[in-house]
Structure 1
Amino acid sequence: MPSRKQNIAISIGDLNGVGIEIALIAHEEVSKLCNPLYCINTSMLRQATTLLNLKFPKNMQLHQVDGEFNIEIGKTTKESGLYSYNSFMSAIELCEDSKADAVVTMPIHKEAWMMAGLDYKGHTDLLRKHFNQDAIMMLGCEEMFVALFTEHIPLKEVAASIQYVKLKQFFIDLHNSIGDAKVAVLGLNPHAGDNGVLGNEELRISKAIKSANKKIGFEQFAGPIVPDVAFTPHFRKNYNYFVAMYHDQGLAPLKALYFDESINISLNLPIIRTSVDHGTAFDIAYKGEAKTLSYINAVKSAISFITPNQH
């Protein structure tokens, strides 16, 4: 653990959802871990605390974000989408200006971003375009992490996206981000293609694995693994890190096993960004039912990535 408390910029997420409630409930605990800098203005925080029947906190450091709107609990609105975007950009700027050491994000609503005219599919997509780097989305917890080769694209486009050169670079970038941990790489097709009987994408995956391992200098990446056995206890005894070819292939088992404690980490970027691994949860927003474990784990993970060799 670093000797001084790190400054962590908190992107507050969609204020119509559970993010602000989680931040307020967990504030005292998070303040023991770091110096949280909340990207929200005084007026919007006061409105949220009133709706939550909570006292306005006197000891929260606020980084004022322009804009005011009426919070509409559990609704998708362009106003909440735009404010969550502005909060995120403010958090990024704090890191770029060396005023914060990392960003932790509360959940945004992708449809609200679209309604606000924002041409991004989420936090990771924005980071990728903002920094012009191939950010890697990795989700999980201490027991299991899953890195996604493709993310928010239609399933019908996944097979064509599995290209040797891009996959090899993905493996090398992942190695540079996580170090020497062993990684199990899932195949795309049932039975990992059965040697071409059920598909030939595994040939490209295998070639990329061999080439990346050769460049790295040791057998870090193993596979392609048959997808329906990859997350069994047998495999998870030997591997803590997995690469999934598409979103649900990796996240369905992860969330079935570790939904409450998992986090989202953006790798291969000039800044550190972690996030809760859940959505805006409009159905329970402002009802006092939101859980804080994923958020607290995201803060802890951000701190560990700030200091080399702690992750």
Structure 2
Amino acid sequence: MKYKIAISIGDLNGIGLEIAIKAHEEISKLCEPIYCINETMLDRGLKLLGVSKPQNFNIHPTKGEFDIKPSKVTKKSGKFSYDSFIEAIKLAKKGKVDAITTLPINKQSWNEAGISYKGHTEVLRDYFGRDAIMMLGCDKMFVALFTEHIPLSAVCENIKTKKLTQFLIDFYNNVKSDKICVLGLNPHSGDGGVLGDEEVKIIKAIKEANNELNQKIFYGPAVPDTAFTKQNRSQYKYFVAMYHDQGLAPLKALYFDEGINASLNLPIVRTSVDHGTAFDIAYKTDRELNTTSYINAIKEACKLIKNK
């Protein structure tokens, strides 16, 4: 029996719908996709793309109609992408689907629509009242982000031993890896306090998490500029980064097309593509659209459902 997965359609002014259409036949072999969109908006998107509706393209209606404006930031497209996501969440919460996979939204469009959240993970955190963990990567390497969409200037004050300890324990309980690399914050991991003392908190959190789990799972703090070398990646599959770009810059440099996003530590399974709306190429025909991240996100959702 195939798992049912709700597909949040993303910003219709971007590449989300085209990805869904192009990959539909392939992902239908992996799961039973249910697309959160309505017939009117689907028809408008299909006309712009110049394609027909695929067979067995099942939808769960999301209210709202507007003119699709390729490559544009608009509040109506932002509102519709948010509503599509909420519909997918409701389906998962009611047990009508086994997981959610999200196509890309545009944060500026959400802002134009008066939506205060900066992204999917923040919505899920609020909706379920749980400390969702943002993990990105592929089968070769995954990175969990301790801090996410906050200014770099605010990272230091957010590194607290108790909070990091719980984050590490929750992360382990979701991935069950017996060896996880935790990055330091400062250059050279602080060089014994010469370049910063945040590593003292990180060291304490690693020790306390290992003690709580009664086994040595977490290693570090690793020097950030060598943490993702080929040699280190041969020892670790899972990494914990202290801030957004510390983990995602190397991940995307190594595995940009393959990467996915997964929200862990929630009562539902949610995965996503690890790329944006690509307004620069939306609804254009003179290029090849890569669906690898979307297909990998569906595959990862199936794995997480099976292991839940």
In 1, the alpha carbon distance for the partners of 2:289 and 2:120 equals 21
C-alpha separation between the residues in 2 aligned to 1:56 and 1:294? 22
Match of 2:90 among 77, 89, 93: 93
1:286: Cα distance to partner? 1.1
1:20 to 9, 17, 20: 17
Q: How does 1:1-311 map to 2 (within 5 A)?
A: 4-288=1-285, 289-308=288-307
Shift of 1:181: 3.3
- CA RMSD, 1 decimal: 0.8
Q: Could you tell me which amino acid in structure 2 is paired with residue 147 of structure 1?
A: A
Normalising by structure 1, report the TM-score: 0.97
Deviations 1:269-308 (A, max 9, x none): 0000000000000001112432100000000000010012
Distance 2:257 2:181 in 1: 23
In 1, distance between residues paired with 2:55 and 2:216? Answer: 53
- 1:51-74 Cα distance to aligned partner (Å, 9 max, x none): 000012342110000000000000
Distance 1:80 1:181 in 2: 43
Are the aligned partners of 2:24 and 2:54 in contact in 1 as well (CA < 8 Å)? no
Letter in 1 for 2:303: S
Distance 1:167 1:46 in 2: 47
**Counterpart residue identity of residue 226, structure 2:** V
- Cα distance in 2 between the residues matched to 1:188 and 1:128: 25
CA deviations 1:88-119 (Å, max 9, x no partner) are 00000111111100000000001111110111
Question: Partners of 1:181 and 1:54 in 2: how far apart?
Answer: 47
Letter in 2 for 1:72: K
State the alpha-carbon separation in 1 of the partners of residues 155 and 223 from structure 2: 17
State the distance in 2 between where 1:58 and 1:239 align: 42
Structure 2: stretches of 5+ with no match in the other structure: none
Q: In 2, distance between residues paired with 1:117 and 1:181? A: 43
Amino acid at match of 1:295: Y
Measured in 2, the distance between the counterparts of 1:56 and 1:292 equals: 18
**Cα distance in 2 for residues equivalent to 1:304 and 1:136:** 17
Distance, in Å, in 1 between the alignment partners of 2:307 and 2:278 is 34
4+ residue segments displaced more than 3 Å: none
Measure, in 1, the Cα distance between the counterparts of 2:49 and 2:175.
Answer: 39
Aligned pairs, number: 306
Give the residue type in structure 2 aligned to 1:55: S
The TM-score with structure 2 as length reference comes to: 0.98
Q: SS of the residue aligned with 1:46?
A: helix
> How big is each residue's C-alpha offset from its partner over 1:98-152, in whole Å with a ceiling of 9 and x where there is no partner?
1100000000001111110111010001100111110000000000000000000
Distance 1:239 1:102 in 2: 27
SS in 2 for 1:33: coil
